[in-house]
Structure 1
Amino acid sequence: MVELKTDTSIDAMHEAGQVVGRALTAVHKAADVGVSLLELDEVAHEVLREAGATSPFLGYRPSFAPTPFPAVLCVSVNDAIVHGIPTRYRLRDGDLVSADFGAELGGWVGDSAISFTVGTPREADLRLIEAAERALDAGIAAAVVGNRIGDIAHAIGTVCRAAGYGIPDGFGGHGIGRRMHEDPGVPNEGRPGRGMKLRHGMVLAIEPMVIGGGTDGYHADSDGWTLRTNDGSRAAHAEHTVAITDAGPRVLTARI
């Protein structure tokens, strides 16, 4: 069941989204050679504390997970696609990092992700990140009243495939509101004109995930959370929480 949000509720979600934007900006700024993933998690945690917000990630346990998620930040490095658990691993020159973060404030949730490089970047990584961001922009542009979920999926998939990248099957965006994961699901590839019609008041987390090697294969790491590419190629992830409004798509997690 899809809950349509009022304009007042969307404004409240924007407040939560601003916390998310501040946290991801702080994480990106703090990420440097020698910094551990646990230290990045603490940076994000401090933003939550300062805002009086809580984490929808910490303690979250979907059906596939062997244990509750132990952190407030998902941080996935190099061949990790999504759901990376922060560890003592210290960032190295040239690492590709995807950071995914959520915040709950006043009963409403925001969710967003960015990818970036540390130290001296590889050109291939910059192209991969740019494609993920373009796919996100294309998905947001398709998130207009009267379109359908398939139009968002098709816009994302077209950008990723045209760039020669893989798309992990079965993972994509989702509705969001009082809970982090709500209906409807938002695939990262699909046929235009198909699926649920978009209406004013729907709020979606749109999140392309791209695999640099061009294949779609992935597997779960030994921690039961982290998804890694089968071919060892690098991956990138980009995400925003977006409200569907009569005035056009409204990004609620813009980074500050």
Structure 2
Amino acid sequence: MMSKNAPCWCGSGKKYKHCHEKWDDTINVLKLQGKIVPGHDLIKSEEDMHWIKKAAKINNEVLDLVQEKIHAGMTTEEIDQLVYDYTTSHGGIPACLGYMGFPKSCCTSINNEICHGIPDSKVVLKEGDIVNVDCTTIVHRHYADASRMFCIGEVSPEAKKLVDVTKECLQIGIDAVRPWGHFGDIGAAIQEHAHKHGYSVVTDFCGHGVGNAFHEDPYVHHVGIKNTGMVIAPGMVFTIEPMINEGVSTLYIDKKNNWTAYTSDGKLSAQWEHTLYVTEKGVEIIAY
């Protein structure tokens, strides 16, 4: 039992009774009710949030730059160079570069590539393509992660609808986040919206905790059942990043590079990703 007047475990420097005592009381009640609850290690301190938001600022600016520059005739290697140059010149580190052997600073996934597409000087964007650019930035050992979809020139109505509905799935997932709710609420909302439009939800990949590391607990699934899963507690930081397929949800991994995931039926896939911070009052989108 922690003393009420002791410094809080979160590192804020405040007395426990003025900081996380009520948080712990709520967690303990939920635990007695049989709920899955986060540990203190998943709760970000004020200092953590200072640096995570610094990383998010650079990450958002990088994706803004890509949005400004991306065009038909551009190679995905040129996108990667933009990401690397901007990130490093503004005091950040591209988290993807060298991560588990990944060779580039961002992922560029085109059309039927679900995720983890590797930028390449031989891959040229063309009119009608849809492409996801996924960036993660490190500042002072803290991480922020986001991705956006881009339509290259005039795309087909089918491609445009998939991109739009996937963005709606992300927003609907965010709208399902509430302090002391459940992670299952997020997946339930996303899958309902995707299925309503005749699309499938990729289950091989999911969102994740982020901030003090690239990937942390918990997993954030994009399918689920309401009122199930870990409790969403104030202080948590995680991504929601639904990958929505035009056809079936199954995939295969490129055997040549062991990274890029493709739809098994060759149909289109889209993804949007934000990093979120849960507060006592709701949720804050910090990387987008």
Give the TM-score taking structure 1 as reference length. 0.93
1:70 aligns to 2:103 (yes or no): yes
- Of 245, 261, 281, the match for 1:211: 245
**232-241 or 49-58, larger mean C-alpha shift:** 49-58
**108-117 or 155-164, larger mean C-alpha shift:** 155-164
1:121 aligns to 2:121 (yes or no): no
- Of 41, 62, 66, the match for 1:23: 62
- Name the counterpart of 1:137: 171
> Structure 1: 5+ residue runs without aligned partners?
62-67
**8 Å contact kept, 1:7–1:201:** no
**8 Å contact kept, 1:33–1:90:** yes
- Name the counterpart of 2:278: 244
- Of 202, 223, 226, the match for 1:189: 223
Q: Deviations over 1:163-191 (max 9, x none)?
A: 11111222110000111100000001011
Q: CA deviation at 1:153?
A: 1.2
Give the TM-score taking structure 2 as reference length. 0.83
Structure 1 stretches (4+) deviating beyond 4 angstroms? none
**8 Å contact kept, 2:206–2:220:** yes
Q: CA deviation at 1:33?
A: 1.0
- Name the counterpart of 1:231: 265
The one-letter code sitting in structure 1 at the alignment partner of 2:46 is D
Change (3 A) 1:12 1:247: farther
- Of 97, 103, 106, the match for 2:140: 106
- Name the counterpart of 1:157: 191
Secondary structure, aligned partner of 1:159: helix
- Cα distance in structure 2, aligned partners of 1:172 and 1:8: 27
- Cα distance in structure 1, aligned partners of 2:213 and 2:230: 20
Secondary structure, aligned partner of 2:218: strand
- Cα distance in structure 1, aligned partners of 2:135 and 2:217: 19
- Cα distance in structure 2, aligned partners of 1:49 and 1:25: 16
Structure with larger Rg: 2
Q: CA deviation at 1:110?
A: 0.3
Identity over aligned residues, as a percent? 30
- Cα distance in structure 2, aligned partners of 1:10 and 1:163: 37
**184-193 or 215-224, larger mean C-alpha shift:** 215-224
- Name the counterpart of 1:65: none
- Cα distance in structure 1, aligned partners of 2:46 and 2:222: 27
Q: Deviations over 1:202-231 (max 9, x none)?
A: 001110100112x11110013110000011
**28-37 or 1-10, larger mean C-alpha shift:** 1-10
Secondary structure, aligned partner of 1:246: coil
Q: CA deviation at 1:101?
A: 0.4
- Name the counterpart of 1:81: 114
**8 Å contact kept, 2:60–2:287:** yes
Q: CA deviation at 1:21?
A: 0.8
> Structure 2: 5+ residue runs without aligned partners?
1-38
**More contact order relative to length (CA 8 Å, sep ≥ 6):** 1
- Name the counterpart of 2:87: 48
- Cα distance in structure 2, aligned partners of 1:33 and 1:198: 41
Q: Deviations over 1:76-111 (max 9, x none)?
A: 011001000001211111111011000001221000
